[in-house]
Amino acid sequence: MSDTQRDGIQEVQPEKVLRFTRGERISHWVHAGSFFILLFTGLGILSLSFRPALVIFGGVQVARVIHRGIAVIFVVVAAGMFLIGDSRYHWEWLKSAFHFTKADWQHISAFPKEFFGGHGDYPAQDKYNGGEKINSLLTIFGSFFITVSGIVMWFSTSLPAGLVRWAYPVHDLSMFVMTAAVIGHMYLGLLHPDSQVSIFGMLSGYVPTKFAKAHHAAWYERIKNQQRTVPGK
Amino acid sequence: MARKTVFVDTSKCTGCKACTVACKEWNELPAEKTHLVTSYQTMKDFTPNTWTYLTFIEKYQNNTMDWYMRKAQCFHCAEPACLKACSSAAIHKTDSGYVVIDQDKCIGCGYCVENCPFGVPKVDEVRKKAYKCTGCIDRVENNLTPACVQTCQPGALEYGERDTLLPKAKARLEQVKKEHAQARLYGETEMGGTTFLYLLFDSPDVYGLPNNPTMPLSLSLWQDFVRPVGTFAVGGAAAAVVVGVLGNLFKGRYSSGSEKRDLSDGSEQEKGGKR
């Protein structure tokens, strides 16, 4: 099945399709890793109940420095990958997150049932289904607002207090939104019986063809054709 | 302990700055390089080591100059924004009306600095701690008057029970108003009523003070809405996941024969092949 051979350099994998390129996977894991470090150091600064856990970083003052250092990675790497890390797919993802089709809305209305283990009816989905697009939007807006408010807080001494005061609720709200989203995201990627196989798309890059057909039929049909017309990439 | 008050009668202040010296002396705060800000004013703002200073305002009208002097320090609000902003439980309020920072708990995040409507607390960036006027709590709890009050020569500062000082301040205001129609009390109701109660010659903005100091809206939104609702939302997401896992378990969807089993088998083969 040369159909699934998306990249000429990579070995032929007849039962698999390439879902995420290396650049996309690096972006995902740098974002995820830095997010969790930021979350744990931030929670320790924000909340006294988490603060004792900061001993693993070497105390609250070290955690404050780590929080800022990792924040730079969180922002710079994520932004940089749009330019150097298989950038085409990054831009495609960004574009698709803002483009909701009728099929996406139908997926979203079937989503609660699916989430709790039932079966909802929805039409063939593209590379990102409606639920994934919502998760993408929460991530995009959460990352944007947490970055902007974080910069304001970092440089608080040279900015007016009236502005800095607003950065605190914005920073926290972004954190809560992204944390709630990541809990659901991890459940679907790791624990949900139907979708947990998708984690391999973020590990090796490949998902079983069967999964692609069942969950992202529209995308699968499209890449089959693309692979014929663009054999090198 | 009943509510205490320090009545700052600016109409009696001569700008001698003895209070600022007494503060440094009692609290063992190092002297700092001073600069000429306006006329006699030598400090522009609070610092981690300067908890009180004198402001000198020159107001010119009708070919005369009004020279307003004011001792600036923490107001010790009844509803302190700094306390509400602190995420380290490092700030507490006493029954006597004092607002005190516990430097052992403080991490120097600066949330109090940004949220104080008067810009009082300052963070020492080396020690990573916030500092401000303690109201000489260590003195008043031992039946002494605050150091600044103790030293004030013209009697512009008076320390005592709020119940006795507030009527006294109002009586004094009536006298002062005869020559200064704009005179008023500041701190009677502001921020829930501040422990340092001022008699000002003119409106607060003339002194560089906010006319209507309030708890910042962003602070209330943050502490009373975003944090509880956000915690609830994250808890809700976690609960939904637990329900989802249990629901799938109950329906037997983790056991063999499901679609997922076939798929993950394939994936493991693929992983094995790569090794």
Question: In which band, very low, low, confident or very high, does the pLDDT at A1 lie, cut at 50, 70 and 90?
Answer: very low
Q: State the fold for domain B4-215.
A: Alpha-Beta Plaits (3.30.70)
Closest to B51 in 3D by CA, of B67, B73, B30:
B73
pLDDT at A206 over 90: no
Q: How far is B251 from chain A (nearest CA, A)?
A: 8
pLDDT of residue A229: 38
According to DSSP, the residues that pair with B72 across neighbouring strands are: B53
Mean pLDDT throughout B2-8? 96
* Interchain contact B86–A (C-beta under 8 A): no
State whether B259 and A214 contact (CB < 8 Å).
yes
ipTM of the complex: 0.86
Which residues on A lie below 8 Å from B229 (Cβ)? 176
State whether A183 and B119 contact (CB < 8 Å).
no
Closest residue in chain A to residue B275, using alpha carbons only? A204
Which residues on A lie below 8 Å from B222 (Cβ)? 168-169, 172
Where is pLDDT greater, at A12 or A66? A66
pLDDT at B77 over 50: yes
Residue A206: exposure state from Cβ atoms within 10 A (0-12, 13-18, ≥19): buried
* Interchain contact B252–A (C-beta under 8 A): no
State whether B260 and A115 contact (CB < 8 Å).
no
Where is pLDDT greater, at A224 or B170? B170
Of B110, B119, B128, the CB nearest to A156: B110
Read off the pLDDT of residues A76-85 as tens digits, 9 standing for 90 and up. Answer: 998 888 888 8
String of DSSP letters for chain A:
-GGG--SSSSPP-TTEEE-S-HHHHHHHHHHHHHHHHHHHHHHHHH-TTTGGGGGGGTSHHHHHHHHHHHHHHHHHHHHHHHHHSSHHHHHHHHHHHT---HHHHHHHHHHHHHHTT---------SS-HHHHHHHHHHHHHHHHHHHHHHHHHTGGGS-HHHHHHHHHHHHHHHHHHHHHHHHHHIIIII-TTTGGGHHHHHTSEEEHHHHHHH-HHHHHHHHHHHHH-S--
pLDDT at B265 over 80: no
Closest to B173 in 3D by CA, of B3, B4, B10, B6:
B10
Question: In which band, very low, low, confident or very high, does the pLDDT at B260 lie, cut at 50, 70 and 90?
Answer: very low
Q: How far is A53 from chain B (nearest CA, A)?
A: 14
pLDDT of residue A131: 86
Of A64, A116, A173, the CB nearest to B244: A116
Mean pLDDT throughout A12-38? 87
Mean pLDDT throughout A11-25? 78
pLDDT at A10 over 60: no
pLDDT of residue A116: 87
pLDDT of residue B62: 86
Say what percent of chain B tops pLDDT 90: 83
* Interchain contact B230–A (C-beta under 8 A): yes
Say what percent of chain B tops pLDDT 70: 92
Read off the pLDDT of residues B138-159 as tens digits, 9 standing for 90 and up. Answer: 999 999 999 999 999 999 999 9
pLDDT at A125 over 70: yes
Question: In which band, very low, low, confident or very high, does the pLDDT at A174 lie, cut at 50, 70 and 90?
Answer: very high
Read off the pLDDT of residues B182-197 as tens digits, 9 standing for 90 and up. Answer: 999 999 999 999 999 9
State whether A169 and B254 contact (CB < 8 Å).
no
**How far is Cα B209 from Cα B116, in angstroms, rounded to an integer?**
12
pLDDT of residue A225: 65
pLDDT of residue A107: 87
pLDDT of residue B113: 97
pLDDT of residue B150: 97
pLDDT at A13 over 50: no
State whether B87 and A161 contact (CB < 8 Å).
no
Name the most confidently modeled range: A74-83, B37-46, B75-84, B256-265: B75-84
pLDDT of residue A104: 86
Domain ranges of chain B: 4-215, 219-274
Mean pLDDT throughout B106-113? 96
